[in-house]
Amino acid sequence: MGEARFISFEGGEGGGKSTQVRLLAERLRGAGREVVSTREPGGSPGAEALRDLLVKGEADRWSPMSETLILYAARRDHVERLIRPALARGAWVICDRFADSTRAYQGAAGGVDPGFIEALERAVLGDTRPNLTLVLDLPAEEGLQRAGRRGDCETRFEQKGRAFHERLRTEFLAIAQKEPDRCVVIDAAPPLQAVQAAIWAAVAERLSENALER
């Protein structure tokens, strides 16, 4: 069935990542791929248990350093129990957020030393890194408005204020600029179908059309 691929979706709040993960997974399955869709924080039973600690409650429930440590405990379990086994059997893994979110949320926006986060990445992830990262970009104010319409209870990070979310956007774009071989910025403002088409074009170009054939 061909070589495994690991795709991550990144960006601030309200960019439509979860919907686009689902749509891309459906299209890849239609092209004959085995696809594992997952998310962070979460993705494995242990990591999902930690997710509630991170995304619910008051904005100041945890310090950014504590968030980083919890996230990397969850990420290690996720990688060990789901991501690596799926890639080893040749599946495509599509993840709603991965390590770049820690760089942005806890690092650039939260003030945790980037060198500390990079050391955790190396120790926890080893060579398990995305082949392609799609950064869904949206102005912070628009993203927060969209996120507010979701009506769920996972609003802890949305409460951190506009300046926090402006820093997030700046960092995600900086990551994409620093790592152009891995990252593609997708404008998340157009209608859903247009964003979906841009994502498919990026996947086909970066991961080769041959890899998408049956």
Would you place residue 13 in the very low, low, confident or very high pLDDT band (cuts 50, 70, 90)? confident
- Give the CA count within 13 Å in the CB-facing half-sphere of 128: 24
CATH assignment of 5-212, among 3.40.50.300, 2.170.16.10, 1.10.260.40, 3.40.50.2300? 3.40.50.300
Residue 105 · residue 166 · CB < 8 Å? no
Q: Of all residues in the chain, what percent carry a pLDDT higher than 70?
A: 92
What's the mean per-residue pLDDT of the chain? 91
Residues 19/120, Cβ–Cβ less than 8 Å: no
Residue 143 has pLDDT above 80, yes or no: no
Check pLDDT > 80 for residue 213. no
pTM: 0.92
Nearest to 12 by CA among 111, 110, 105, 113: 105
Tokens coding 46: 């242990």
Q: Is the peptide bond before 139 cis (omega within 30 degrees of 0)?
A: no
CB 43 within 8 A of CB 82: yes
Query: Quick check: 214 pLDDT over 60?
Result: no
Q: Has residue 115 got a pLDDT over 60?
A: yes
